[in-house]
Amino acid sequence: MPDALAQLQTAIGHQFEAPDLLVKALRHRSVGAHNNERLEFLGDGLLNFVIAHALYQARPDVPEGDLSRLRATLVRESTLARVAQGLKLGDLVELGQGERASGGHRRASIRADALEAVIGAVYLDGGFESAAGVVKTLWRDELTTLPDAESLKDSKTRLQEWLQARGLALPVYRVISESGPVHKRQFVAECQCATVACQGEGSSRRKAEQNAAAACLTQLLTEANVDA
Amino acid sequence: MPDALAQLQTAIGHQFEAPDLLVKALRHRSVGAHNNERLEFLGDGLLNFVIAHALYQARPDVPEGDLSRLRATLVRESTLARVAQGLKLGDLVELGQGERASGGHRRASIRADALEAVIGAVYLDGGFESAAGVVKTLWRDELTTLPDAESLKDSKTRLQEWLQARGLALPVYRVISESGPVHKRQFVAECQCATVACQGEGSSRRKAEQNAAAACLTQLLTEANVDA
């Protein structure tokens, strides 16, 4: 076994009984048939569950919606790619000629997929507890510096909850204007609630509404502070 | 412990060390704060992973995309509700007064959520192997009568794969017409590929294109059979 794979096993804290599984986990589909896609499917499922359980334990008092949002930030591609970067997985992935020539080693999605495949391979090699241990080792930093669940909510959700907590009516949204060419559409939406009405812009109706909601929330919080 | 909960434990094949967990798993959010939503989050993750692994084993030769589609059919709400029905979970769920009055016991989503929560509770009570065993027991019928992975693909995907396998150009889609009031829009799309061009109708552009693709595929398969 090459040094690099020995180092990887040390870094993740698992020595493979069947090192072929690890080799397969690092084989991108551009190489051919026996690639890492099925292992990635398995690893993705395991990762989602282990992170779910870690959050369930770490945040005993937050509701399910917050757990879901926290998990989404911990298992999204950019997080996976960062963890994979720490393991230098980009250098270890086996790529087909075309993919290698076009810089596949530097692609975040390829690193992220390979990391999930490695996790799947550990599960097949050593069982659930081994794989869960690897995930908890690799995600230690992410799990100890969890973002505030509240900050992950989108503006429309936060505004709605703020209003409901005060027994106020739900906001009313309407699109004020829609302009620009098809591929570069621009929307302006208005959000009206409590004592305020604010506008927001964006490249979709949804984004414009979110920006309008954020503006309303800022104004309501400012007014509440002034009154207090 | 009431008889009904004893029977449920026999049916799922797990005797709880901490029966309070099972009671909590059956408490709908309409009852109040200490409900089953967090357990449902945990059980959902475990179920997805255990089914992923069962499919990985049961279908050693199918690609990742087929595994994903198979899993989606096995963990969707209607499947969960059917499994929950077999356990009479609807009768066991504890509901708030309003939810009970409006027939919550018969709601598929409430049964399905409670089943995920029960799975999460088994995991906390007995660990991974216990919970995985319960899932495999409850999903035995579904796992032994898996649909053909090919049949789960949508028509556009199947058409594209059929054409690619024969080295033919990809289909071209275009919307022919769009009519009707906003809440009841009707689209007609055309799909053109190989030797055929067919139209399809639907309430969205996507549905119209799917129907057009299905019509093309039928025609191409018929032509291929006639030629053969």
Ordered by where they begin, the domains of chain B are 3-147 (1.10.1520.10), 153-227 (3.30.160.20)
- In this complex, do B56 and A67 lie within 8 Å of one another by their Cβ atoms? no
**Residue B116 annotated as catalytic:** yes
Check CB contact of A52 with chain B, cutoff 8 Å. Answer: yes
SS3 content of chain B, % helix, strand, coil (to 5): 65, 10, 20
Instruction: Tell me the average confidence (pLDDT) per consecutive run of 10 residues in chain B, 228 residues long.
Output: 89 96 96 94 98 96 92 95 95 92 90 98 98 97 86 86 90 91 88 92 92 92 76
Spatial separation of the C-alpha atoms in residues A113 and B64, rounded to whole Å: 12
For B195, residues 6+ apart whose C-beta sits below 8 A from its C-beta are: B220, B223
- Beta strands at A186-193 and A172-179: parallel, antiparallel or unpaired: antiparallel
For chain A, give the percent of residues with pLDDT over 90: 75
Q: Which two tokens stand for residue A159?
A: 């505004």
Q: Which two tokens stand for residue B185?
A: 């829009």
Which chain A residue has the Cα nearest residue B69? A41
User: What string of H, E and C letters represents the secondary structure of A116-150?
Assistant: HHHHHHHHHHHCHHHHHHHHHHHCHHHHHCCCCHH
pLDDT for the residue B25: 97
- In this complex, do A38 and B67 lie within 8 Å of one another by their Cβ atoms? yes
What is the DSSP secondary structure assignment for residue B191, as one 8-state letter?
E
Q: What is the torsional sign of CA B134, B138, B142, B144? A: positive
Which residues are registered as beta bridge partners of A192? A172, A197
| ipTM above 0.90 for this complex | no
- In this complex, do B67 and A129 lie within 8 Å of one another by their Cβ atoms? no
Spatial separation of the C-alpha atoms in residues B151 and B96, rounded to whole Å: 41
Closest CA to B114 of B105, B102, B126, B124: B105
Spatial separation of the C-alpha atoms in residues B80 and A93, rounded to whole Å: 38
pLDDT for the residue A33: 84
Spatial separation of the C-alpha atoms in residues B185 and B205, rounded to whole Å: 10
Please report, as a single letter, which amino acid is at residue B214: A
Give me the phi and psi of B190, to 5 degrees please. Answer: -120, 140
- In this complex, do B49 and A53 lie within 8 Å of one another by their Cβ atoms? no
Catalogue the active-site residues of A: 44, 116
Nearest CB neighbour to B64, from listed A41, A68, A129: A41
Spatial separation of the C-alpha atoms in residues A59 and B60, rounded to whole Å: 38
Residue linked to tokens 């709880």: B16
Hey, is A110 helix, strand or coil? helix
Nearest CB neighbour to B49, from listed A49, A63, A129: A49
Compute chain A's Rg from CA coordinates.
Answer: 23
Contact assessment for residue B91 and residue B4, using Cβ atoms and an 8 Å cutoff: yes
Spatial separation of the C-alpha atoms in residues B3 and B9, rounded to whole Å: 10
Contact assessment for residue A213 and residue A170, using Cβ atoms and an 8 Å cutoff: no
Q: Which two tokens stand for residue B54?
A: 């069962």
pLDDT for the residue B151: 75
Check CB contact of A53 with chain B, cutoff 8 Å. Answer: yes
Closest CA to A22 of A106, A134, A104: A134
Which residues are registered as beta bridge partners of B7? none
**Residue B44 annotated as catalytic:** yes
pLDDT values of chain A reduced to their tens digit, one per residue, 228 residues: 578 999 999 999 999 999 999 999 999 999 988 999 999 999 999 999 999 999 999 999 899 999 999 999 999 999 999 999 999 999 999 999 989 999 888 899 999 999 999 999 999 999 999 999 999 999 999 999 888 877 778 899 989 989 988 989 999 999 999 888 877 889 999 999 988 999 999 999 999 999 999 999 999 988 887 665
Contact assessment for residue B188 and residue B201, using Cβ atoms and an 8 Å cutoff: yes
What is the DSSP secondary structure assignment for residue B146, as one 8-state letter?
P
Contact assessment for residue B61 and residue A32, using Cβ atoms and an 8 Å cutoff: no
pLDDT for the residue B1: 57
Q: How many Å lie between the alpha carbon of B14 and the closest alpha carbon of chain A?
A: 19
- In this complex, do B38 and A128 lie within 8 Å of one another by their Cβ atoms? no
Which residues are registered as beta bridge partners of A63? none
pLDDT for the residue A96: 92
Plot region of B88 (φ>0 → left; ψ -120 to 50 → alpha; else → beta):
left
Give me the phi and psi of B197, to 5 degrees please. Answer: -145, 125
Check CB contact of B49 with chain A, cutoff 8 Å. Answer: yes
Q: In the A/B pair of chains, how many CB contacts fall below 8 A?
A: 55
Give me the phi and psi of A15, to 5 degrees please. Answer: -95, 120
- In this complex, do A128 and B128 lie within 8 Å of one another by their Cβ atoms? yes
Distances (CA, A) of A1 to A16, A25, A91, B103, B114: 11, 15, 16, 62, 48
Residues, chain A: 228
pLDDT for the residue A227: 64
Check CB contact of A63 with chain B, cutoff 8 Å. Answer: yes
Which chain B residue has the Cα nearest residue A62? B38
- B26 burial level (CB within 10 Å; 0-12, 13-18, 19+): buried
Q: How many Å lie between the alpha carbon of B219 and the closest alpha carbon of chain A?
A: 31
